[in-house]
Structures are given as structure tokens and as C-alpha cells.
Amino acid sequence: MVALSAAVPRRGASAPVDGWLGRLALRFAQRGDRTVLTDRRHEGPLLVQRTFHPEGPVCHAYLIHPPGGVVGGDQLRLDVDVAPGAHALLTTPAAAKFYRTAGPVAHQEQVFRVEGDGALEFLPMETILHGRSDTVLTNRFQLASESRLCAWDILCLGRPGSGDAFDAARCAQDLVVERDGQVLLHERLNLVSGDALLTRPWGLGGYTTVVSMVVTPAADGLEETLRGALAGHAMRIGVSRIGDLLLLRCLADGAETARAVLEDAWQAVREPVLARAPSTPRIWKT
């Protein structure tokens, strides 16, 4: 369990000019016939609601991001540990929002460690990068040899439907998946408003929502199963395999269509990879 140190100022008059820190550390472990949240430590606005067990052994938990959003200079750190034999599903009730900056960069680092034969599902709502935001995002998954993982990410460049374009903004995002200390995947996405990458056909092609999903371990045939499950979606979708890791990429016009793709993908891979029939989190139905 990662220790938390240093008092974190609250947003307001007492907050430092450079922004505040938000930290949350969670540990899930097997107790009897189900997984429970055994340790929870937080500083600042990152929180977790009470946990649920809608499908018995699996622990569902909802992460709460700062309700007022994140601005330049703010720093968020999430650490999640899943013990051997435990199975945790994490999601969020609302989008994470990164707003404009007056200069400093906003940072969000999320590190997940899955031990032994533990299982983790990280299925958050979208991250919205508003105009004039400057953001560094890191998602790092550290797995053991028998660990199982299903995780996705939805990155929205502004909110074009509300007149908020990804103007004068930039974002650097890293996705890292490791197993037994060996890197299975390390992708970096550099998005800068006005860059050709955002509009050219060889890049985002004008799409404003970037989607990724990683699943491991992927048995033979899962790639074809996933492609078949997504055949009805008229979007730019790619499915590839790197060793026993399955990678889904998608470009969409908004978070709603992106979530539809991801939920169908999750429905297709959950039982083959995690040995559990799909059990939709309650919050997705509200």
C-alpha cells in the first residue's frame, strides 16, 4: 500500500498559487468468498464511494473526481492495489474535467498494481480536455504473471457540441502495461491544438474522441470474437494483439458513441478473460 504524506490544501484562499494535490490509495483483498476494500487513504478531493457487491465475489467501487474539475497546477495521484485472488471493478459516476490554465500544467497519474491471480477492471467515464487546458495524463498497470486486466480510456478533445473546442490546448498521455516488470505496451499520445495530427486522415481525421481498451491475457480467438462483437458500429475501430495483450482503438464523435463501443467490447471479453458473466455497474444505468 502506498503511503500518503504531506497535508493537501483545499481549493480556496488557503490553496497555493500552483494548485493543490489530490491523492487516493486503495487496496482490495479477498476476505472469505468476496473481495473487499481493506485499506483506503485519501488527501484532497479524490474520494471513493462505498463499495457494492452486485455480483457476489466482485467488489464494485466508484471513484469521485474533484466536483469542480481540474485546472492548471493541480496534481492528482491514484494508487490501486489488488491482492492475489481479489477482483475489483472501478468506474466513475461522471466525467473527469480538465479546464483552462493560466500557465501551470495539470497532472494526473494513475498506477494500478495487480498481484498474483488478482483481477482488475478499470472502466471510467470520459476525460474531457477543455479549451486552453494543458494536461499530462499517465495510466500505468503493473501486473503479475497470472493477473487479469480489462481497462479502458475515453479522451474527449473539448465539447464541440457546446461550443468548447480544443483550442490553445495540449495533452500528453502515457499508457503503460507491464507484466512481471516487463513492458507489454507503452504508448504516448501527444495532442496539440492546431497540429496536423488532429485533422489529417493518417491521424485523428477530425474526430474529437479518442478511445483505447486493453485486455490481458487474451486467448487465441478472442481477437476475432471482439471484432465480431463490434461489427455493427460504423466508426474507425482497430483491434490488434501484442503477445497475450489485446488492444482496441477507436475514434468517435463523442463520449456516448465511444461508451457504446466499449460496453459492447466489455460484454464480449469479460467472461473469456475474467471468468465472469457481464454485470453492468448500477451507475451506468442512471
Q: 194 is written with which cell numbers?
A: 492546431
Chain segment 123-177, per-residue pLDDT in tens:
999 999 999 999 999 999 999 999 999 999 999 999 988 888 999 999 999 999 9
Q: 126 is written with which cell numbers?
A: 470520459
pLDDT reported for residue 14: 37
Residue 5 lies in a domain: no
pLDDT reported for residue 255: 96
Residue 16 lies in a domain: no
Task: Label residue 2 by pLDDT band (50, 70, 90).
Answer: low
Taking the C-alpha atoms of residue 16 and residue 179, their distance in angstroms, rounded to an integer, is 38
> Could you check whether the bond before residue 278 is cis, i.e. omega within 30 degrees of 0?
no
Chain segment 37-90, per-residue pLDDT in tens:
999 999 988 999 889 999 999 999 999 988 889 999 999 999 999 999 999 999
The boundaries of the domain holding residue 45 are: 25-285
> What's the total number of domains in the chain?
1
Indicate yes or no: pTM above 0.85.
yes
pLDDT reported for residue 208: 97
Residue 175 lies in a domain: yes
Residue 9 lies in a domain: no
- Give which of 79, 42, 89, 47 is closest to 66, Cα–Cα: 47
Chain segment 13-51, per-residue pLDDT in tens:
333 446 788 999 999 999 999 999 999 999 988 999 889
Residue 81 lies in a domain: yes
